[in-house]
Amino acid sequence: MSEPTSIVSAYSPPFRIVSKYFIAAISSFVLLNLFLLLNHSFIAGHHFSPKILAITHIATLGWVTMIIFGALFQLIPVVLEVKLFSETLAEIQFWIYIVGAIGLVYCFWTFTTGMYMDISAILLNLVMYIFSFNIIMTFTRVKNWNITGLYLGGAIFYLIVTAIAGLLLAINLGTPYIKIDHLQYLSLHAHVAIIGWVSMVIMGVTYKLIPMFTLSHGFKLTFAKWAFWLINIGLLGINTIFHYKDTTFLYYVFIPMIALGILFFLIQVYMIFQKRMRRKLDIGLKFSSYAYLMLALTTILGSFIAFVDYENITNLTIIYGYMIIFGYLSMLIVGQMYKVVPFLVWYHKYSSKVGLEKVPLLKEMFNEKIALYGFYFMMTALFGSLFSLTFRNEIGLVISFSLMFLSSLIFSFNMVTIFKR
Amino acid sequence: MITKDTKISKMLAQYPQTLEVLINYSPNFSKLNNKILRKTLASRVNVEQAAGIAGVNLILLLNELNKSINSDDAVTVDQGIAEEEMINTDKPEILKNANPEKIQKFDVRPIIDSGKDPFLEIMAKIKSLDADEVLHLINSFEPIPLYSVLEKKGYDHWTEKEGNVYNVFFFKTADVDEQQKEEIETQQAEDVEYENMIELDVRQLVPPEPMMKILENISKVDDKTVMIVHHHREPMMLYPKLEERGYKAVTNKIEDNYYKVVITKKR
């Protein structure tokens, strides 16, 4: 079977389903940055505070996971050569998800524990079950498995673990029952979400999209396979030992496994970039390649946090979280969206007119120049925020958050331009 | 009724259903699915030669073909022809004694695989040979039509089969008078349907640019013109677009990440 070499195929779902997720996610990204800017004074101290929890969930649910849902509905059929099990479920899921996500963020913001928070968490769980059911049913029809399918299978598993852990945490806030430290459980929830769910998806999809966008071939996927097993064994190990109290030794085994797995992933990405036929990196690939560098930095920071008693550097967890959400995830998503969305819209609107009338090139679909400014703003904001958080510099933080907000506005302006075509 | 002397092209034009019979009969005929190959190869080959090329029994094939066109006529082909050994066994003296440096190797399989007819290239090669040189042709099927063409040019042949590979040696036996030679060449030129060819290399382009480039140039493809696209993949999404506009494509994988797409206008 030939390699999928385009993000559209005969199996693709209707464009309206995917675009709905993308538009909701892009709106969340702007909102996220606006909230950060307006509430910059709360972004300090211990990470376990209502405002930070609310903002984090705008990022993870509204922005990151929303984009992933839309992207996977588009990409799974292409990569695994199957039709989605149910497009209706993909549609229904969206609306429950919106209600659940807004509900949860509101409850965190006002710190309304109890029934409303629990209901939101239950709705979100429901969404994750619907999604997983839909994807697993889709998987049953797959004839040609590949490495991406393997990663996505893993991702689904961790999505469910994340959702259940999140629900238990939400209930625990209202009626405490967890015997072990709530924060230890929170760390489990966060790491399973970021490494298990989000990163598994990102890694699996990277192996397909980056070669596609850079015209790279002739590389072996050996590192990708090793990365998968290292990260999975590490994560499962951490999941197990988190339930016990004295876990220092195993900690020293599993954390390095995960870090090594991420390193292997990055080596694989490097190999793919090395073999590319298109030497020049356009704006989408520029964002993406820097995102992979940020992942490397974030992994180093994460490994450091895991082994060092950092309690006296209070902002360190916030810095770590900021690096994950903005340095790694947002840069990558923005980069990939600059590749995926123009193509989808182009295919949808123009592909049948080529040769008959004048149609735009992909890079003419949006303003590439301001996108480049968006890139520099985001990089500046990223390092500015890290600096300001480390040295507790309020003015620096306001400037950095403003730049990040500006960058998100440029991104959404470009995306709206594309969608309105 | 179809006889051993019926030209394949004529047969296919008159009874299109026979294409399916041929393809079902032997996978070796599946190359006929490719319109370009069909047009160029089939016009030179009769049923007897085709059976030889595919290595199938002529009488049984004729039976099948005639059945498909409901011909009641009995098939009366000399049994001897069907059993005739197509491949010579004794290596001719002239080849045994040939200086290895005088043997020109020419592997036409990549050309066939890319959906093109190597006929013109073989003829060019023959033309460039010195009188004492031998052409060693390597192919995936026995090029029976060539034998008679080259015979007229004074070349004899000797063929040996190694697995799925046919090694055919053409060597000069007698001089042909120059004028006669020219006559043959003009006749050959008329036999082959010459077509204009547009070549596009889209291997350095990222989607959707290959599709754009192909569709922007598609209007130049007409009954006499064929488009050959060098592609890094099989353009699955292009096919429906071509279909919509009355074109069809055949893609051949040459190697990993190199595909040749032959696009023609539908008739």
Domain with B225 in it: what CATH number? 3.30.110
pLDDT classification of B85: cutoffs 50, 70, 90: very low
Q: B212, A359: Cβ pair inside 8 Å?
A: yes
Do B151 and B211 have their domain in common? no
Q: How is residue A122 written in tokens?
A: 């239950």
Identify the top-confidence range among A168-172, B27-31, B133-137, B259-263. Answer: A168-172
Do B183 and B101 have their domain in common? yes
**Per-residue DSSP letter, A65:** I
Does the pLDDT of residue B80 top 70, yes or no?
A: no
Query: Is A363 within a domain?
Result: no
Work out the number of other CB atoms within 10 angstroms of the CB of residue A383. Answer: 11
Query: Is B111 within a domain?
Result: yes
Counted residue by residue, chain A has a size of: 421
Counting Cα atoms < 13 Å in the Cβ hemisphere of A56 gives 23
Model pLDDT for residues B154-174, shown as the tens digit of each residue:
788 888 877 778 888 888 875
Q: B212, A354: Cβ pair inside 8 Å?
A: yes
DSSP string, B35-58: HHHHHHHHTT-BHHHHHHHHT--H
- At A355 the pLDDT is 81
Q: 3-class DSSP state for residue A298?
A: helix
Q: Which conformational region is residue A111 in: left (phi greater than 0), alpha (psi within -120 to 50 degrees), or beta? A: left
Candidates A196, A383, A407, A211; CA nearest to A297 is A383
Can you give the residue range of the structural domain that contains A71? 15-349+382-419
Per CB-CB distance under 8 Å, the chain B contacts of A346 are 208
Per CB-CB distance under 8 Å, the chain B contacts of A218 are 256-257
Pair A18, A340: CB distance under 8 Å: no
Query: Is B141 within a domain?
Result: yes
Do B76 and B15 have their domain in common? yes
CA distances A9 to A5, B202, B240, Å, are 9, 19, 11
Query: Is B226 within a domain?
Result: yes
**Of B143, B172, B191, the domain-final residue:** B191
The helix/strand count (H/E) of chain A reads as 15, 0
**Separation of alpha carbons B118 and B141, rounded Å:** 13
Does the pLDDT of residue B206 top 60, yes or no?
A: yes
A84: domain CATH number is 1.20.210.10
What contacts A9, CB < 8 A, 6 or more positions away?
A: A77, A78, A81, B236, B237
| β-strand partners of B46 | B7
**Separation of alpha carbons B12 and B34, rounded Å:** 13
Q: Which of B207, B209, B219 sits opposite A5 (nearest CB)?
A: B207
Work out the number of other CB atoms within 10 angstroms of the CB of residue A135. Answer: 23
Does the pLDDT of residue B76 top 50, yes or no?
A: no
Do B214 and B249 have their domain in common? yes
pTM for this predicted structure: 0.71
- At B190 the pLDDT is 38
pLDDT classification of B83: cutoffs 50, 70, 90: very low
Per CB-CB distance under 8 Å, the chain A contacts of B232 are 5, 215, 217, 277
**Of B83, B114, B143, the domain-final residue:** B83
Do B70 and B99 have their domain in common? no
Query: Is A372 within a domain?
Result: no
Query: Is A233 within a domain?
Result: yes
Q: Is A343 on the interface with B (CB under 8 A)?
A: yes
Q: Picking from A321-335, B113-127, B202-216, which range would have the lowest pLDDT averaged per residue?
A: B113-127
- At A309 the pLDDT is 63
Q: Which residues of B touch A (CB under 8 A)?
A: 203-204, 206-209, 211-212, 215-219, 232-234, 236-237, 241, 244-245, 256-257
Burial class (CB in 10 A: 0-12, 13-18, 19+), B189: exposed
Average model confidence (pLDDT) across chain B: 75
- At A154 the pLDDT is 96
Sheet hosting strand B196-201, strand order edge to edge = B196-201, B225-231, B258-265, B247-255
Query: Is B3 within a domain?
Result: no
Pair A38, A402: CB distance under 8 Å: no
Q: Which conformational region is residue A45 in: left (phi greater than 0), alpha (psi within -120 to 50 degrees), or beta? A: left
Which chain B residue shows the shortest CA-CA distance from A361? B209
Query: Is B59 within a domain?
Result: yes
Query: Is B166 within a domain?
Result: yes
Higher-pLDDT residue of A102 and B186 is A102
Query: Is A360 within a domain?
Result: no
CA distances A285 to A176, A372, A374, B185, Å, are 46, 11, 14, 56
A-interface mutation test, from B233, B244, B255, most A Cβ less than 10 A away: B233
Q: Is A5 on the interface with B (CB under 8 A)?
A: yes
What is the rounded radius of gyration, in angstroms, for the C-alpha atoms of chain B?
Answer: 20
Query: How many independent structural domains does chain A possess?
Result: 1
Query: Is A359 within a domain?
Result: no
Arithmetic mean of pLDDT, B115-141: 79
**Of B132, B160, B191, the domain-final residue:** B191
Which chain B residue shows the shortest CA-CA distance from A355? B216
- At B177 the pLDDT is 55
pLDDT tens string for chain A (421 positions)?
345 567 887 788 888 999 999 999 999 999 999 999 999 888 877 777 889 999 999 999 999 999 999 999 999 998 898 999 999 999 999 999 999 999 999 999 999 888 999 999 999 999 999 999 999 999 999 988 999 999 999 999 999 999 999 999 999 988 888 777 788 888 889 999 999 999 999 999 999 999 989 988 889 999 999 999 999 999 999 888 877 766 677 778 898 999 999 999 999 999 999 999 888 899 999 999 999 999 999 999 988 887 776 665 668 888 999 999 999 999 999 999 999 999 999 988 888 888 888 889 888 999 999 999 999 999 999 999 999 998 888 999 999 999 999 999 999 999 999 999 8
Buried/exposed B21-45: b ≥16 CB within 10 Å, e otherwise: bbeebeebbebbebbbbbbbbbbbb
In this structure, the strands spanning B134-139 and B165-172 are antiparallel
Do B101 and B186 have their domain in common? yes
Query: Is A355 within a domain?
Result: no
Distance from CA of A416 to the nearest CA of B (A): 21
Query: How many independent structural domains does chain B possess?
Result: 3
Per CB-CB distance under 8 Å, the chain A contacts of B217 are 355
Do B70 and B106 have their domain in common? no
Q: Picking from A174-178, B87-91, B139-143, which range would have the lowest pLDDT averaged per residue?
A: B87-91
Can you give the residue range of the structural domain that contains B239? 196-265
Q: How far is CA A142 from the centre of its chain?
A: 25
Burial class (CB in 10 A: 0-12, 13-18, 19+), B182: exposed
Q: At what angle do helices A331-350 and A15-38 cross, to 10 degrees?
A: 150
Query: Is B122 within a domain?
Result: yes
Query: Is B232 within a domain?
Result: yes
Do B53 and B100 have their domain in common? no
